[in-house]
Structure 1
Amino acid sequence: MKVVYRLLGVGSAECMIKIGEDRYTFYAGDVTNALGDILFALLRVNPLYPDGKYSPENNSATFRWDGEPEETEWGFRLIEGDRLLVTINHDHKIKLKTECSYQAFLEDILASAEQILEEYGILGFSEMWYGYGFPIESYLKLKYSQKHMSAFPLAEEDKSFKSDLTTEFKLLKEILKDDGSCEDLGK
């Protein structure tokens, strides 16, 4: 399975899923937080984040993309270990129902998010997506969990939470080459 998410232009995106020779393409418009929704749903089913988002009893997440006039409903359910059940309904009909590796799906989506960061930047993404900011919180948590197989460390002090800005910047800096320019992350 191969998954690629990309912006098509201002306010338009697509997600292509290839399974063997079969290819499925779904579109989203800027009335939904498409990239944010997919990253947050992957975070929600990630068992490394037990802070109320994930629980074995509620190991699923759903979200909708409005493609103007198309509507696509996504469903993720972690079924056991690394296995992710992906269900996609398009205009109220099941278009795709498949099982895959959670880590492989996550790797492809994170690579797509990094390609978008490389091409548009954080503020440029917001302009391309009419005010929805780049989903940096979900991205950093998922990237950290992928790299370290643990939840992003948060310190709890005096009824507040603190994260390490250096760790956050290191994760973002990995996208950059040694000379400070962006790598070609396309596959």
Structure 2
Amino acid sequence: MKFSYMDIRSGNATCVLEINKQKFEFYPTFHSDALGDFVSYVASIHPLCKLSWKDGAFPKMNGGIEWHTGPYLLRWELERDFEDLEITITEIQNPIADRKKNPNFPRTVLRTKCNFDEFVLCIVKELDRVIKQRGILGYRQEWQNYTFPIDGFLALKYACLYQKPFEITKKQSGTSLEEELDLLMKNID
């Protein structure tokens, strides 16, 4: 299994998902916060990212998320069942790009199951690579309107590394910047 988010430039990116011996490429644009929505969506279904956060920090995204990809929208739907994850990716018509009803949509691109923890680990490793390569401000400069999804990333990374939630509510003043920076710089294998 592999998840890559690369070629981030001028509000466009390339996402490659390799799963169950199949490879898929997607091209989200700046018309949606593709990576931010995706990371928040994964965090919203991860049990260790919800326990110590206020309700609504990673709200449940019923119906999935949508990436603008130009001529169509790409809808991601993730359904977690303990250690299993069902992924459904569907292309739907983008009303901004094409107002006439297109009979080819919706079209299911992928429907598969995989191990939830392996999927999350692939995502965290890629996010770790992206932020260490580009930086927080460098990501924003390239992606234009949206910032790197640091909150979801840190929650997911902590869950992967320590198999427990990042306990931000134990301190009255929130988290410690030092703890956050240590987590951000920590390598994940």
Q: TM range, normalised to the smaller chain? A: 0.7 to 0.9
CA root-mean-square deviation: 2.4
Change (3 A) 1:121 1:107: same
Structure 2 Cα separation of the partners of residues 151 and 59 of structure 1 = 20
Structure 2 Cα separation of the partners of residues 164 and 77 of structure 1 = 33
Q: What amino acid maps onto 2:178 in structure 1?
A: T
1:27, CA displacement in angstroms? 1.5
Structure 1 Cα separation of the partners of residues 116 and 86 of structure 2 = 9
User: 2:85 aligns to what?
Assistant: 84
Please, what TM-score do these two structures have when normalized by structure 2?
Answer: 0.81
Structure 1 Cα separation of the partners of residues 135 and 185 of structure 2 = 12
1:40, CA displacement in angstroms? 0.4
1:18, CA displacement in angstroms? 1.6
Structure 1 Cα separation of the partners of residues 162 and 61 of structure 2 = 21
Please, what TM-score do these two structures have when normalized by structure 1?
Answer: 0.82
* Structure 1: 4+ residue segments shifted above 4 A: 58-61
Counterparts of 1:34-53 in structure 2, within 5 Å, are 34-48=34-48, 49-50=50-51, 51-52=54-55
User: 1:33 aligns to what?
Assistant: 33
Tell me, which stretches of 5 or more residues in structure 1 are unaligned?
176-182
Structure 2 Cα separation of the partners of residues 19 and 155 of structure 1 = 36
Counterparts of 1:1-187 in structure 2, within 5 Å, are 1-48=1-48, 49-50=50-51, 51-52=54-55, 62-79=64-81, 81-91=82-92, 92-155=106-169, 162-175=174-187
Tell me, which stretches of 5 or more residues in structure 2 are unaligned?
93-105
Percent identity at matched positions?
26
